[in-house]
Amino acid sequence: MNILFLTLIDIRSIEERNIYTDLLREFREQGSHVYIASPSERRTGEKTRLISENGVTILKIKTGNLQKSGYIEKGISTCLIETQFIRGIRRYYAGVRFDLVLYSTPPITFYGPIRYIKQRDNAFTYLLLKDIFPQNAVDLGVLGHKGPGHWLCAYFTKKEKRLYAVSDRIGCMSEANVEYLLSHNPSVSRQKAEVCPNTITPSAGDRQVEAERRYIRKTYGLPEDKSIFIYGGNLGKPQGIPFLMQCIKENEKEEHSFILVVGSGTEYPGLCDFFKREKPRHAKLIRHMEKAAYERLLSACDVGLIFLNACFTIPNFPSRLLSYMDAGLPVLAATDRNTDIGDVIEKGRFGKWCESVNAKEYIRLQRIFSDAGFRKECGENARKYLEDYTSKKGYRIIMDSISNRSKVI
């Protein structure tokens, strides 16, 4: 079977570890031929080219700047990718007949190349719904259904509807995502939507010995005698950084906990200014790290943190949860009311959840993790629950959908 994966992630090697490459490696290991179309942003200065590696072909398509750029530049670049991807696929994958097209949101502007491949090859089209746009931007005040920019919101909404229509099956991250999709899109049949969660290939799961943990903490200037609560990932509006700042300030009254923030994003400069101004004694900010170094640091920490903006009406489900589970860490989540990630964490008995509106409530839950026995039990449960989020399971869900394609309405 020939598989084409369309993505805006800058994939340069199939051996990278993330929710997409892990899934694609599973397809490769099961005997499929994997092809990828991935952007090469203008800032890299690279031209469109093919990369062949370990049985996988990666088409790097020259595009505008899509990541870590302003809203206007990112918006224009996103609108142009349909034409750029179709042109690249026509030229470099002209002789390949695809049986399955996999793609994720963001973006919602892959409708053109998906329709092209579907019509050309009669391919099965599977959407991995990771982001409900443009409603997430409306929630954050970036776009609006009314006002000067309403036309842009209407444009993206039209693109969203077309993407759902061209998809034979839509894999949602959780049950809450399925229900949201169906309730807000009457044209999408229940048979078309299913749960296909974020998945990874679990690591060996070996925890660092105590001497190694102390060495890692010393390397990064972290206290050896405190429980370290680590947040790792994007630092943008979706994460509700002002609430994170409130939690850091409230944590200054705590003597046995330390908050470590690792990441980058649009809100990083403001968070950096906060650290310079407040000079918190029980918190530290580290800029984005390479994945291998971050995973090593993660193994020396005690609790993983998840933050989501309380304004969200859509049920986000951050993939960073899997990194914490893989490291055997308990999880403390502070999010909006509409996501069901808190339900998953508490049902799996590997952490706690609160709404991201009250820093004192967050601190109250944080204190529960001061019990080493509780942390150990939650960490072990996290690794066990990870079995529901493996790449093998994601592969089986997608393959079952292809087998039952006649049942999709």
User: Residue 353 belongs to a domain with what CATH number?
Assistant: 3.40.50.2000
Same domain, residue pair 47 and 75: yes
Query: Worst-scoring range by mean pLDDT, 207-211, 255-259, 284-288?
Result: 207-211
pTM for the model: 0.91
The answer to whether residues 181 and 188 touch, using CB atoms and an 8 Å cutoff, is yes
Same domain, residue pair 173 and 216: no
Q: How many structural domains are present in the chain?
A: 2
Same domain, residue pair 57 and 122: yes
Mean pLDDT of the chain: 92
Q: Residue 409 pLDDT > 50, yes or no?
A: no
Q: Averaged over 129-156, what is the pLDDT?
A: 83
- The better pLDDT of the pair 265, 378 is held by 378
Confidence band, pLDDT 50/70/90 cuts, at residue 406: low
Question: How far is residue 259 from each of residues 33, 148, 329, measured CA to CA in Å?
Answer: 44, 40, 15
pLDDT 10s digits, 309-332: 999 999 999 999 999 999 999 999
Q: Averaged over 103-114, what is the pLDDT?
A: 89
Rounded Cα–Cα distance for residues 331 and 63 (Å): 37
Same domain, residue pair 180 and 231: no
Same domain, residue pair 185 and 253: no
Supply the range of the domain harboring residue 257.
210-388
Q: What pLDDT is recorded for position 207?
A: 62
Same domain, residue pair 10 and 61: yes
Asked whether residue 205 is assigned to any structural domain, the reply reads no
Question: How far is residue 399 from each of residues 104, 108, 112, 123, 177, measured CA to CA in Å?
Answer: 17, 23, 24, 13, 21
Asked whether residue 125 is assigned to any structural domain, the reply reads yes
Asked whether residue 380 is assigned to any structural domain, the reply reads yes
Q: Averaged over 16-29, what is the pLDDT?
A: 95
Burial label, 144 (beta-carbon count in 10 A; 0-12, 13-18, 19+): middle
Q: What pLDDT is recorded for position 42?
A: 82
Same domain, residue pair 170 and 221: no
Same domain, residue pair 162 and 214: no
Same domain, residue pair 380 and 400: no
Q: Averaged over 136-149, what is the pLDDT?
A: 80
